[in-house]
Amino acid sequence: MSISESDKKLIWHPYTQMKTSEAPIPIVKGDGIYVYDESGKKYIDAVSSWWVNLHGHSHPYIAEKISEQMKVLEHVIFAGFTHPKAVELAERLIKKLPTNQSKIFYSDDGSTSVEVAVKMVFQYWHNKGTEKKKIIAFKNAYHGDTFGAMSVSGRSAFTMAFTPFLFDVIFIDAPVKGKEKKSAEQLKKIVKNNDIAAFIFEPLIQGAGGMIMHEPEPLEQLVEICTKAGILTIADEVMTGFGRTGKFFATDYINVKPDVFCLSKGLTGGTLPLGITSCTKEIYNAFLSDNSAKTFFHGHSYTANPVACTAAIASLDLLEKNECWENIKMIERKHKEFCNTLKGNRKIKRAESVGTIMALEIETVENTSYLNSLKDNIYNFFIKRGIILRPLGNVIYFMPPYCIKEEELNIVYKAIRDFLGEI
């Protein structure tokens, strides 16, 4: 039996309609920006394997570090114990984060980093003796698939079956072009309520919601409104962290600093799952008490897994090299140039980029949405060409590992141009 046939017998895939979807492609090897299927055909990983990969697949340096760590300490309970890799990673990250960040809480992935953030802010107020039960989020937001993360995400096809079970969240417009004022005005009205615990947002670009971008200035204004009103702010940098938007963090583009950060995806360079929620001293201090009921009762079996922490440290080593930032800048420049060449193309509603992420919204008679029927056509067109470009409905996005070369970027741009020629 082939790998695909055996897979079909037993495996249920994520975000996949198992009745109608085509058999998954078995990948047996990864190297740099490429992954290889069993027949030896190679594919450019133009989506960085769901936005996680930074330095290319099977990176020898990360592989070596992980392998060494495996032989020394694979895992240890993280309550009552610690280990050098968790400490080293915390020390290195805290230097990258804004100076108001003082504590690192480990978890498993992006969704759990958001769960931790949401629980942290609710309990912060609870511990201080003021119940604040509301969270503000952007319409179209995506913060993950667990219940708390779903609750603070925009209501969509993803959350439909669960709507009755999600807690109430106040949604405002994201400050996209033309809606900057509206968004700030909505927020100013809401912050007058005194039951708001926090404001959570994806800085500069809303990922799964359709790669929708906004400028730093209007975001800075929103964070400032909250900070002045005594409302905690949570930056979900799960997708945008680690150079994706051209700076180390997307919130490095704004001057007012959020109270909480959620990190995952690129954290380990895309090799192993790991989540981090960082917070200010002020938040942390609200949990310190002789009353054990004020403890933060949250933890996962694999909290701060030493191998995952080692991968994250190795990825930071690579991210600290000039070469990596030169490449990020090169991708940023090439994306901008490509978007400019598409100006005036009537098949396109929107072509824009931020840092290493480029998005193209294809004009269609249907509404722009994840369920748009163009999705499969787009996907199959690029797969045939040996390019993994898994669109969000009618939104094509290109988010490569940072080690991609100019010629390889050009191959993908050419394929996109050819696709536009065919529709």
Ligand X SMILES: *Cc1c(COP(=O)(O)O)cnc(C)c1O
Q: Which residues bind ligand X (CB under 6 A)?
A: 109-111, 114, 142-144, 202, 207-208, 236, 238-239, 264
Show Cβ contacts of residue 266 under 8 Å, excluding neighbours closer than 6 positions. Answer: 51, 52, 53, 54, 241, 242, 243, 244, 315
**Set 142, 302, 397, 413: catalytic member:** 142
Residue 306 and residue 86 in contact, taking contact as beta carbons nearer than 8 Å: yes
Shortest spacing between CB 14 and ligand X, in angstroms: 9
Cα separation of 298 and 316, whole Å? 27
Shortest spacing between CB 375 and ligand X, in angstroms: 18
**Set 15, 31, 95, 195: catalytic member:** 15
Whether residue 284 lies in the annotated active site: no
Show Cβ contacts of residue 267 under 8 Å, excluding neighbours closer than 6 positions. Answer: 241, 242, 274, 275, 276, 312, 315
**CA-to-CA dists, residue 137 to 130, 151, 154, angstroms:** 21, 10, 8
Of 152 and 283, nearer to ligand X (C-beta) is: 152
Structure tokens at 348: 């396109």
Whether residue 370 lies in the annotated active site: no
Give which of 279, 283, 309 is closest to 94, Cα–Cα.
279
Cα separation of 82 and 148, whole Å? 28
Whether residue 34 lies in the annotated active site: no
Shortest spacing between CB 113 and ligand X, in angstroms: 7
Count of beta carbons in the 10 Å neighbourhood of residue 228: 10
Cα separation of 388 and 380, whole Å? 9
Bridging pattern class, strands 196-201 and 232-236: parallel
**Set 65, 85, 132, 265: catalytic member:** 265
Show Cβ contacts of residue 242 under 8 Å, excluding neighbours closer than 6 positions. Answer: 54, 248, 249, 263, 265, 266, 267, 315, 319
**Set 236, 252, 397, 413: catalytic member:** 236
Cα separation of 34 and 32, whole Å? 5
Of 144 and 355, nearer to ligand X (C-beta) is: 144
Q: State the DSSP code for 132.
A: -
Task: Supply the Cα-derived Rg of the chain in whole angstroms.
Answer: 21
Of 109 and 408, nearer to ligand X (C-beta) is: 109
Residue spans of beta strands (DSSP E) within 48-195 = 101-107, 134-138, 169-172
Whether residue 397 lies in the annotated active site: no
* Cα 377-212-266 angle, rounded to 5 deg: 85
Shortest spacing between CB 271 and ligand X, in angstroms: 13
Shortest spacing between CB 311 and ligand X, in angstroms: 15
Query: In 263-389, which ranges are continuous DSSP H helix?
Result: 281-285, 306-319, 322-341, 374-384
Shortest spacing between CB 321 and ligand X, in angstroms: 25
Of 153 and 372, nearer to ligand X (C-beta) is: 153
Structure tokens at 302: 């694999």
What are the residue numbers of the active site? 15, 142, 236, 265
